[in-house]
Structure 1
C-alpha cells in the first residue's frame, strides 16, 4: 500500500512538472537592442486572450511563462512608448527574442483619464491629448504653465492680480479639473491652483481630456480634465539630476545693504532665475520607490508698454464720420509688476507588489512657496501644501479589479512680514476623499466601472465676510457607473451616469454618452454629450 502511494505521488509530480513546462522570452528594443524592462506580458492558452495571466519583464528584458498542458499558448506585450505585440509560443522551441518597435505617433500609448481604466490612446472613446513629460523638458520649458500654453490647443493662461488665470475652450478655471495621479488638489483661488507647485521633472506624462467628464470626476470636470501622471521607476536604479540658470529679467536694486530698511524687499525682488532638481527611483523585488525634489526661484520685474494705446474709428464702420479718426493716448500705461517666486517641493511614492494581482501604494508630498511682489508694504505671500494617501488594488484574474483609496490635501496661505518673524494666515483649505471602485472586463466587449466616493472639503478665508476668517464646507457622497461597449472594430459606445447627494443641493444626476467610429486604422471620429451640474460650498 505504501509503495502504491509513493508511486502515485511520483506520477502526479511528474505530470504536474510536465503540465507546468516553462518557456523563456526576451524582449529587446528594435534598432538599439536594449532590453525592455518592466513591460507587461499577458499569456493565455486561447488566442482571444481570455483567462490571461500576467507577468513583467525583468531588468534584462526576460520573462518566464508557464505553458498550458497542451504545450502552446499566446502572449501579448504592452509597454509605454512601444507598439503592442502579440505572438504564439510552443514547448520545445528555443527561447525566442522578440523586438519591440517604438510608438512614434503615440497612438498605442496607454491612457487612464478618459475611462479610469488602462487602454491605448487610439481606442479611447473620448478625445484625449497626451504630452510626454520628458519631451516637455527636452523642449526647454521651465514650468508647467509654459508647456501647457504652447502644447495644448484651446488652452490659455494669462497673468492676473492673484496669480495665473487658466481657461480651456472659453471655459474658465472653475470648469477645468486638475488631477495629480487621478486625485484632486486643493488651494485654488477663483478655480486656479498654484501652478508653480507642479514639478515638471517629476511628470511622466500629462493626459488632457477635453469636454465634459463629470460622470467619472464630479462637477468640477464640466470643461476639461488635466491629469498629471508622475513617474514610476521600472529599472533597478534610476537617477536624473540637473540645474538650469537664466539671465535675470530686470535688475531692480544694485548692491542692497543690510542697513537698508527695505533690505529684505530689495533682496527678494532680485532672486536669481535658477532651478535645481533630482529624480530618483529603484525597483527591488516587490518594492518600487520614486523620490522627486525640486527647487526654483525667479526675479520680480516690470512689464512696460511698448507703444501708447491707439484706437482707430473708420468711416466704413461709422458712416457719420467725415474720415477715419485715430485716437492715441498721451502717456503710456503704468508698468505691470510681475512677482518673483521661490519654491521647493519634495514627493515620495512607495509601491509594494508581492504578486501581479496585488498593488499597494503609499505617497506623500510637501510644497513651500514664497511670492515676492514689487509693492513696498513690508509683506510677502507664503504658501505651503501637504498631500498624503494610500491606494490598494486587487485583481481577481480577468473577472474584476477592486481599488480602494484615501487621499488628503492640506493647503495654507500666509501674509508674512519682511522684517519680523510674524505671519498671518489668510487662507486654509482641506480635502479628504475616500474612494472605492470596481472595474471589470469579464463580459465580452464591455468594460465596466462602478464606484462610490465621499468628499469632505473645508475652506477658510478672509474673502467671504468683511475680511473676517470664515469657513465654508462641502460634504458630498457620489456614485458613478460607466460601461464602454466595443460593438465591433469600427464602433464603440460609452455610457455612464453619476449621482450626487449633498446636504444643501440634494440629489442630482449627471448622465453621459460618447461615441467613437473608426472606419479604418487611420481615422477616428468622436462625439459626446452629457448633462453637467456644479455645486458650491455652504
Structure 2
C-alpha cells in the first residue's frame, strides 16, 4: 500500500510539474542582427541554463515564477531581462565588449565579481588570450602573457616565482582545488590541461585568510570550461619541431538535469640539447649526452558528472588520471623518471533565496614519483620500477555565503586538511599532519557602492604548530572610470612534511628535515589605481611583502661514517627575513578595426635582510607586449598575434642567468560553421629572432628555447 501511495504521489508531482511550466524560446543577436552562438543563457539564482546553438537559438523550461534571464559571453556585454511568463519570441541583443573588464572572477573574494568591481586586485587571462597566444603548456603561456610570473628553466620542470617568491609560496588551484604533489619542491605544472581552460585568475600577495597555508606570494586559480550545449565536442592538435606534439579532446554532454564533461590531453617531445658539453669536477669542458629539455610523454584524463535535481541544488562528482614519463640517455643515468597522479572529488551547491548559497566540496590528490631502471646496478635490474615518494592530500570545505541586505555579503566556512608523505629513500618513513580552520569574510558596500571594504580572518589549528590567526582587509573606492585599491594581508605557511621529516641520500648530498622548524609568516601591503573606458584600461599597483622565518637549506658538518661519495650535508632551518618590494603595470588598448595592443611590466626588488643579498632567481625587470589583429573575411575569420617577453638577467649565488627576449607569431583561421562543425587551422613561429642560451649543460639558463621553431595546429569543433 505504501509503495502505491508513493508511486501515486510521484506521478502527481510530475503532472503538477508538467502543468506549471514556464517555457522560454528565443534568439541572441549582436548589434548587426547577426546570430551569436555559444552564449550562456540562464535564469539567475537557479541552476537552469543552456547555451545558444550556431544560429543563436536557445530554449529553457522552468517552474512558473518571476526570474531574471541573463545572456553572457566573454566578448560581449551581459544583458538581463525580467521574465514572468512563457515566451517563444525572445530576442536578446548583445553589445560587443572589446576589453576584459566584464569578466567574472572568483579568486579575490571567493564570490563571483566582475573584474572591474573586485576590491581585491585580480589579473584574469581569458580563454581568448590563451587561444591567441596558442601555447600548449601553462609555463609558455604565462611567459608570454604575465610578466609577474617568472620561470627558472629546469630539465625536469619549471621553477615558478610570483613577484619575487618561489613556487612553494604560490598556491596553485584548479577550479578552487589545490594541485597537490611536486617535482623537486615545485608544483607539477604539466598536470594543467590547457585545452580545457576557460580563464586563469592570478591573485598576488598573501591570501592565507581565504586559502590557508602556501598562499604567501599569491594564488593562481585555473578555471576549466563547463559547456552548456546539449553536445559540444572539440579536438585540438598541435605539432612543432623537435617532436613537440599536443593532442586535446573534450566532450561535453547535457541532457536535462544531467551533465557530463570529459577531457583528455596528450603531450610529448623528443627533447633537445642547448649544448653538448658540461663542466666536470675539475672545471674542464667534457662531452655529455644529457638533454637540457628532456624527452617526455604525458597523459591527462579528467571526468566530471553533474546533476541538478532542482532549480536550487546542483551536485557533482569528478576525477582525473595523470602520468608523465621522462626518457633519458643510458649514458647519463641509470633510470627514467615516472610521475603518476589521480584525483577524486565530489560536492554540491544549494542556492539560497536571498543572494546566497551553501556549498560542500571534498577532494583528494595522490601523487607518486617512481624510478624505472634502464641500466642494471647492485640493487636493481633493467625494467625494475621503484617508488621513491608518495604524496597524498585530503581536503573538505564547508562554506556559506549569505546576502545581508543591499550592503553586506557574509562568507563563513570550515575546512579540514590532511597531508601525507611516504619517502622510500633510505628510511622508508611515513608521516602525516592535519589542520582545521574556521574563516569569515564580509563584503561591505558604502557611499552608494562607491566604497567597498572586505575584511576577513582565518583561524587555523595545526597539528604541529597549534593556533594561528591570519587577518586581512581590502578596500576599493570608485569614481567614474577609476578604481583605487588598497589592502593588507597576513600570510602563514607551515613547513611541509619534507622540510619537517625528509631524509634523502643523493649522489653527493644528504638532506635532513628538522622538526624544530617554525612556520613562515608575512605581512603584505599593496595600493593601486586603475583607469578604464570602453576601449582602454591601464593599472598600476605597488606592493611590499615582508617574510619572516624563511626556511632554507643550511650546510652542516660531515660525519666520519658518511659514504665516500657524500661531500655535503644539508639541513632545513629557519634562517632569514626578506623584504620584497615591487610595482606592476599593465595596459590594454583597442584601436578599432579589430586591432588591439596590450602589455605589462613588473619590477621586483627582493632582499635578504640578514645578509643584504638579493634573493636568488629574481629577475628585477620583466615585461611583455601583445599585438592582436582580428579580421572577418565573411567565410573565414582570421586572427594574427605577436607577443614578446623581455626579461633582465636573473641572480644566482654562483652565476647570473642572461637577459633575453622571446618574440612569437601565431595565426589561426576560423572557417564558417558547416552543420555545426567548425574547422580552425593555424600556424606560428616561436622565438622569431632565434635566441639560444647555449651555455654548458647544468648552467643557470635564461630560457630552454631551442631557437626558432615552427608549428602548425588544427582545431575541430562540433556543437548542437
Q: How would you bin the TM-score normalised by the shorter chain?
A: 0.7 to 0.9
- Cα offset for 1:233? 1.6
Q: Which deviations, in whole Å up to 9, do the C-alpha atoms of 1:401-452 show, x marking residues without a partner?
A: 1111110011101010126331111110001111111111242221211110
2:103 corresponding residue in structure 1? 109
In the alignment, the residues of structure 1 paired with residue 424 and residue 239 of structure 2 have an alpha-carbon distance, to the nearest angstrom, of: 37
2:323 corresponding residue in structure 1? 368
In the alignment, the residues of structure 2 paired with residue 38 and residue 429 of structure 1 have an alpha-carbon distance, to the nearest angstrom, of: 39
1:531 corresponding residue in structure 2? 490
CA contact (8 A) 2:102 2:114 kept: yes
Residue aligned with 1:174, SS: helix
Q: Is residue 157 of structure 1 aligned with residue 119 of structure 2?
A: no
In the alignment, the residues of structure 2 paired with residue 336 and residue 351 of structure 1 have an alpha-carbon distance, to the nearest angstrom, of: 44
CA contact (8 A) 1:205 1:230 kept: yes
Q: Is residue 98 of structure 1 aligned with residue 92 of structure 2?
A: yes
Q: Which deviations, in whole Å up to 9, do the C-alpha atoms of 1:457-498 show, x marking residues without a partner?
A: 0122257xxx43333322100111011112133111110000
Q: Is residue 455 of structure 1 aligned with residue 457 of structure 2?
A: no
* Two-structure CA RMSD over aligned residues (Å): 3.0
Q: Against the structure 1 CA distance between its residues 55 and 380, is the aligned structure 2 distance closer, same or farther, given a 3 Å change threshold?
A: closer
- Cα offset for 1:110? 1.3
The structure with more strand, counted as a fraction of residues: 2
CA contact (8 A) 1:137 1:200 kept: no
Q: Against the structure 1 CA distance between its residues 134 and 349, is the aligned structure 2 distance closer, same or farther, given a 3 Å change threshold?
A: farther
TM-score normalised to structure 2 length: 0.59
Match among 68, 80, 104 for residue 75 of structure 1: 68
Residue aligned with 1:500, SS: strand
What is the count of residue pairs matched by the alignment?
460
Structure with the greater relative contact order (CA < 8 A, sep ≥ 6): 1 or 2?
2
CA contact (8 A) 2:390 2:421 kept: yes
Correspondences of 1:240-389 after superposition (within 5 Å): 240-248=234-242, 272-304=243-275, 337-374=292-329, 376-389=332-345
Q: Against the structure 1 CA distance between its residues 67 and 226, is the aligned structure 2 distance closer, same or farther, given a 3 Å change threshold?
A: same
Correspondences of 1:18-97 after superposition (within 5 Å): 24=24, 26-30=26-30, 31=32, 32-34=34-36, 37-42=39-44, 55-57=48-50, 59=52, 60-63=57-60, 75=68, 77-81=70-74, 82-87=76-81, 95-97=89-91
Q: Against the structure 1 CA distance between its residues 281 and 64, is the aligned structure 2 distance closer, same or farther, given a 3 Å change threshold?
A: closer
- Cα offset for 1:35? 5.1
In the alignment, the residues of structure 2 paired with residue 238 and residue 67 of structure 1 have an alpha-carbon distance, to the nearest angstrom, of: 29
Q: Is residue 413 of structure 1 aligned with residue 372 of structure 2?
A: no
CA contact (8 A) 2:40 2:73 kept: no
Match among 380, 386, 394 for residue 424 of structure 1: 386
Residue aligned with 1:337, SS: coil
CA contact (8 A) 2:25 2:90 kept: yes
TM-score normalised to structure 1 length: 0.78
Q: Which deviations, in whole Å up to 9, do the C-alpha atoms of 1:105-149 show, x marking residues without a partner?
A: 121111111122112111111111111235313422121110011
In the alignment, the residues of structure 1 paired with residue 86 and residue 339 of structure 2 have an alpha-carbon distance, to the nearest angstrom, of: 64
Residue aligned with 2:210, SS: helix
Instruction: Show structure 1 runs of 5+ residues with no match.
Output: 1-15, 43-51, 249-271, 309-328
Q: Against the structure 1 CA distance between its residues 417 and 437, is the aligned structure 2 distance closer, same or farther, given a 3 Å change threshold?
A: same
Match among 428, 444, 468 for residue 469 of structure 1: 428
In the alignment, the residues of structure 1 paired with residue 115 and residue 79 of structure 2 have an alpha-carbon distance, to the nearest angstrom, of: 16
Q: Is residue 236 of structure 1 aligned with residue 238 of structure 2?
A: no
In the alignment, the residues of structure 2 paired with residue 394 and residue 114 of structure 1 have an alpha-carbon distance, to the nearest angstrom, of: 22
Q: Against the structure 1 CA distance between its residues 241 and 88, is the aligned structure 2 distance closer, same or farther, given a 3 Å change threshold?
A: closer
Residue aligned with 1:115, SS: coil
Q: Against the structure 1 CA distance between its residues 66 and 425, is the aligned structure 2 distance closer, same or farther, given a 3 Å change threshold?
A: closer
CA contact (8 A) 2:342 2:366 kept: yes
